[in-house]
Each structure stands twice: as structure tokens, then as C-alpha cells.
Amino acid sequence: MRLDHLVRRRKRAISMVPLIDVVFILLLFFMLSTSLIRAREIPVDFPTPDAEPSAQQVRIIRLESEDGSFTFEGLQYPGSDPEALQSLVATDPAAPYALDTAPGVSSQALVTLLDRLNMAGARNLSLMGETS
């Protein structure tokens, strides 16, 4: 007589240890295969609250449209002419430049103009905020 039907079989539990090992191996793989190259960046120096205002005249450049056209001292400059921007900066590269934008101009156009000013040799750049 067999009594096998009276013995209950234990259910085998799924072990979580191999799953945790696989997750950590994947985490290690993605951490090591990710490139950590920094994109090009423009250094921005913020003034300290106790800094005295500069005696130099601030040159205000207003970005008028998405194509990069801007105005400076009432004159309109096309965005497709990098020589105009270089000749403007060449008169005084150490002068402070403040950038303002017309309503509706995207931040990408502003960053592009900042980059172009930086390549033209301007080193003292700042952004104008909204005035109340």
C-alpha cells in the first residue's frame, strides 16, 4: 500500500537573490557605459549684492526676432551678418553688454545670440530682467 497521496509536497519559492544580482549588474553596466561629457557651456558671473556699480556705460542689445536680428543704439543689425556683431564688439570688448529680448522671442534665440557675442570677443555679458 502506498501512502504518497498523504504527503504534501512543498511549493518551491522563487529566489529573489539572482534577480537582485541581475539588477545590480544592469545598474553597473549603465553607469559605466554612460558618457559624462559636458556640453559646451557659457560661463555666467552673477554680481554680488554688495558689489558697486561699474563706471562703464552698459551697452544694451535688444534681440528683436528669432532669426537673430538685433538693435543697438537705435540701429537694426541683421542676424545673418556675423561681421556686424564682431565690429560692434571690437570697438570695446571689455564693455559690459546687457541683452534684452522682444516679446515672443524664444530662449534658444537668446542663447544663440549669447554664444555669438562670446565668439565675437565680448566677455562681460548679462541678461536684463523684466522691469516693473
**For 5-39, what is each residue's pLDDT tens digit?**
666 677 777 788 888 999 999 999 998 888 776 66
Kindly list the strands in the beta sheet with 70-72, ordered across the sheet, starting from the edge strand earlier in the chain. 75-77, 70-72, 59-63, 97-101, 125-127
Is 45 a residue whose pLDDT tops 60?
A: yes
Helix (H, G, I), strand (E, B), or coil: what is residue 38?
Answer: coil
The percentage of the chain sitting over the pLDDT mark of 70, rounded to a whole number, equals: 76
Give the global pTM: 0.55
**For 54-74, what is each residue's pLDDT tens digit?**
566 888 888 888 888 888 888
* Ordered domains of the chain (ranges, CATH): 59-127 (3.30.420.270)
